[in-house]
Every structure is written in structure tokens, then in C-alpha cells.
Structure 1
């Protein structure tokens, strides 16, 4: 449990010295969570929310055109559009539209806030450890009255600044390589008919995600450099080949499907700065990038899988496709040419 007054003062001092710092970076520097910092502003610029977050999300389409933000430590994924086709099956949710495309894992949605910062209004949701799961920002095209109605309806009775966050245990180490049924895993990989089967194979053979790529059949997983990765983006932009960019954390996967155009490098960040889609990728935190080739009923699906130094997934990149439709040959050619260079 974090008490408020001292933390509020520490954060105010930090902002004074670091006026451009993001709240996530401030939280890391101060040794607390992002949700802990937001809680210090309850009663001022922040309103605590309570109730069923699934029900809140079902009302988000009333906000109209908004910006959805999902991130992990090393990538920020921002997509503008309208929340459509919001549905839930138990604790798993879907938002499926041409612009906003999400997979939601509601067991990791523990705290909610309505936030007004420098005139920007948002709904922000956090995991039990206080890390951000998903944020929804109003734009100048959004329905502000619908936003105010959601905040009023789901405003928590308890508007104290106290928040109890609980850290998750550290990730368990991978199974030692020598204990892996390597041939069984390779055979199962080659027998896949859908890319989603891959996660089941990792569980069955007790492999970590990157570990599974190391055990891939020959020719089905290949390491490339950060420069090669950027070459894929540059070439896709030049040839106007639409791609899919997946960014995720424990509670949300957010997907952009479409072209990328304006690519900008700023310090350690590699950015896509398009009107509807922004990506901010910490390229200095990328440890490995794998080209993966997985068999499906529709042919081979080619992807890029990025990992940090701890083996955590940063992002997944594919050519734009839908189930039942073969992968774009233009995407396959771009990746194969870059990987062969």
C-alpha cells in the first residue's frame, strides 16, 4: 500500500526536474507503479472507476472516434478509430473493426481511472501490479458527453487516493534445452494448420516462446538484425504493402492492419507516425529478431518476432491477411529478400 502525500510530493519534484518525462518513466524512476502515481491525483484530475470493466468497454463505442493505446516496456502502439463489435466469452474479449482490433484478457484488468491531463481526457486500465493494460483517449472527433456519462455511471464510491498494488512473481525459467523433445516439437511445427496452434505447442512441449524458435525445424526460424528489420519496414512503405503490427501485454493485444508510411528515427525510438497509426519502438532494447515461417492450410505465414534481453516478446509483425486467405506474395518477397541479404 502506497501512502499519498509523500509520493505526490516526489512526483511533483520529478516533473519539475523532468517536464517532458512520461508517467511510466516517472513511475520506474520513483520505484512505484504508474497506477500508484495516478491514484495520487484522485479528486483533482483523476476519477476512480469501479464495476464490471467489460460493461464499460461495451459502452466505449458511444465515444465514437478515439485513440486506443496498448504498450509494453519497449513498444507503444496507438491506433485511431471506432470501437466496434465488442464481445466477451468469459474473461476473453474481442474488439473487431477495421481500425480498432483488440484481444482482451480481463483477468488482468484490476484498476480503472478516468483521467484529464492537459485537456486530454481518457479511460485508463491497469493490472494488479499497477502496470498499464490499455488506454482510450478522446480526440477532437469524440463524443465528450458520452465520455462524461460513462465516468458518472462507473465512478467509484471510494475516491480515496489509496491504492493497493501487488507485484507478480518473476517469470519461471525455461525448461532446460536437454529436457526438450526436440524432434517431437519439430514434427508438430511442420504439422500446424493454423498459426494459433503455435501457443499450444509451446505449452505441450514446455517451451518458452523464443526457446521454441530456437528449436524450430530448419528453415522455419532465422535471426536477422535490427537494420534488416528496419529495411523490411522501409520496403513495405515504399511498395505500399499493408502489414499487421501486434503489440501486447498480459491484458491486451492491439493490432494495426494496413500500410505504414512515415518512418522516423528519434534517438533510441523507431517510429511510425501516420495519421491513424503511431508506433514507437525502443530499438536499443531489442535483443533478437526472428523471421518465422509457419505452415497453415492457406500456405506458409511469414512473421517477424521481436524479443528483449529477458526473452519477453516485444512485438509481432506480419503481412496483412485474414484466415482462409493466402499470405501476400509481396510481403513474403520483402522478408525473404531481406533475410537472404
Structure 2
């Protein structure tokens, strides 16, 4: 999306006045702009939505968030919205990444994708909703932090003052991420299957998985297809529905991962209320909300990876473009094998024939 093809900020605001009820993300897409463009158009504006530009310095942000108290932390991609309610605490950073922890807060952040930041206020009669919103270079949402009634407003204003940008213009520069190269590794042309299998079966920690993919230059979905059916196998299309139903009915604690380009958010604990609504599969628990577009899911796989304490089983879904949508693991304590009840849930899921079978 090039800047000269975008409507002017005042045109964006006028279009919103004519269509005030559509979700902001959907409105921006229909208008041919990014969500960051939409928020930027309201910097300093009067009306129900106003914004201030803040620096997208994720490392410094993590040191300030604990002072806000209870917040709602939101990470999403095109197919899943993951919301946890809790408080930020300690964080660790190294190089271009960080991990943030707290009470019901568990994030992995990748700084190179944090390009734009805003402090946003939305007015609805006497109610004001405040949030911190961050976007990647393409203008897609990376992470949003929404204040709750219990949040500390003085700490919010102090955070905004600390991170306020000298640039308070109403436009942002955005550019799409480059497409995959024509010589990209695919399931059909991937030649290092023996190397993949040797490294996969030799894992002692699930966090080695990313390093393995980088070492042999293979995309995640390609690796899943090619490693062998004893390590990864395809599941029926309704597997995610069945996972949520099973953990809800049994009380088995799970770990649910959803990621944007710049942040992966993790919930660990029980799943209570699961409600289908049209194409959406929803979890509506007091401290965890999940909204999943099941019609976007093209493939579901079960993975089994060795760790020092035993094995880890996961269920993960991909969209039609081969992008990872969501992952589930069984919740476990450090130094222990995964819970037997979680492994039984995974093993009971209906399998599909492996696409690589002869």
C-alpha cells in the first residue's frame, strides 16, 4: 500500500462517520487502508475517537506496563483473536526479542515488527475506553493493551508522557511485507527430509524447534508435512472444536498460543465456556477470551516432539496460505512430562490420510 493511494485523514474520518458501526479492522480493509492508517487519521482529532502517537519501543514499554494494574492484553491474526486479562510483571529481553510474564500474562515479542504506536481514547456517551495499540510496518496490529475499570489512569498518562512521539502527524508510512521468493522451499521441493527427521527426533527441548527450522531453512508447515507421520500427522478439520470441547469437559489445563508478526500471546489454564457462533468458535471465560474463525482453517496437525522429560504433543491449525493460526499444548510444570490426560485427548482426535503417503 503506497502513501499516495491512501485517502486523506479527513476523508478517512468522514467515511467513518458514514459507517460508524463496522469493526475498525474491517472498516479499514474495506476502505483500502491499514488499521494503523485508520488510527493515525484520528491523532489530535475531535470526536468519539482520538489518538496520540507514542514511540513503539517495546522494551521500554514492558518496564512501564506493570504500573497500569489489571489490563486486557490482545494479540490477533487474520483468523484468531486472543485476549487475556491480568497484570504485567517481570520481563526478559535479549537482542531483538523479549518475554513478558505476569498474572495471566505471557507474551513473546519480536521488536523488528513494532513500527507504530498509539495511545487511543474512544468515547461512548459518558464512557471512555483507553488503549495502547502497536502496529507493524504494514500497518497490521501487533499488540493492543486495553485498560480495565481497575486500571491506574495516572500510570497510563505517565506512560504516554514517557513514550510520546514528537511526530503527531495524521499519516503513517506503511508497506506490505515482501511475498515469498519464487524459489521458496515447498513440500514438493524440500530435499533435506532425512536431516529434518534426525534433528526433530533428537530434540531435548521444544524451544530447539525454531532453531532446527532455521538451520535447514524450512518453513514450519513444510517441516510438519515432511518429517514423517510418527512425528506429525494430519487431523480432521473439526479437530480444534473437539480439542476445546474435550478440555472444557474434562477440566484438562491447556496452553493456547496465538501470534501476530510481532507478538505471540499464551494462555495457560482451564477452558470453561465454549460457544460457537456462525463461523466463530468462542471461549468466553472470566480471564481468557478466544475468537477463532474456523472457516479460515485449511489444515490441522498433531505434532509430537521429544523433550528431556518425555514428549510434547500439540495441535496446530493453518490457513489456506499456510500461515499458523493457533496452537494448543497441554499445560505442564517445568521438568515434567506432559499430562497423560492431554496426550490421550490428542491421540483420540480423528486422523486424516497423510498427504505425503505413497
Q: TM-score interval w.r.t. the shorter chain?
A: over 0.9
1:312 to 303, 318, 323: 323
- Alignment CA distance shift 1:51-1:219 (3 Å): closer
Aligned to 1:148: 157
Segment of structure 1 superposing worse, 232-241 or 211-220? 211-220
1:60 to 53, 56, 65: 65
2:133 to 124, 140, 163: 124
Number of residue pairs matched by the alignment: 340
1:170 to 166, 174, 179: 179
Shift of 1:197: 1.7
Alignment of 1:1-341 (within 5 A): 1=3, 6-10=8-12, 12-14=14-16, 16-17=18-19, 19-44=20-45, 45-50=50-55, 52-118=57-123, 119-172=128-181, 173-175=184-186, 177-339=188-350
* RMSD over aligned Cα atoms: 1.9
Segment of structure 1 superposing worse, 121-130 or 216-225? 216-225
- TM-score of the aligned structures, taking structure 1 as reference length: 0.94
- Alignment CA distance shift 1:131-1:243 (3 Å): same
- Alignment CA distance shift 1:296-1:51 (3 Å): closer
Instruction: Give the distance between the partners of 2:158 and 2:81, measured in 1 at CA.
Output: 28
- Alignment CA distance shift 1:20-1:171 (3 Å): farther
Shift of 1:208: 1.4
Segment of structure 1 superposing worse, 270-279 or 169-178? 169-178
Unaligned runs of 5+ in 1: none
Query: Cα deviations across residues 241-280 of structure 1 (Å, max 9, x unaligned)?
Result: 1100001122111000001111011111111011100001
Query: Cα deviations across residues 58-81 of structure 1 (Å, max 9, x unaligned)?
Result: 101000000000111111000000
- Alignment CA distance shift 1:268-1:176 (3 Å): closer
- Alignment CA distance shift 1:205-1:256 (3 Å): same
Unaligned runs of 5+ in 2: 353-358
- Alignment CA distance shift 1:51-1:77 (3 Å): closer
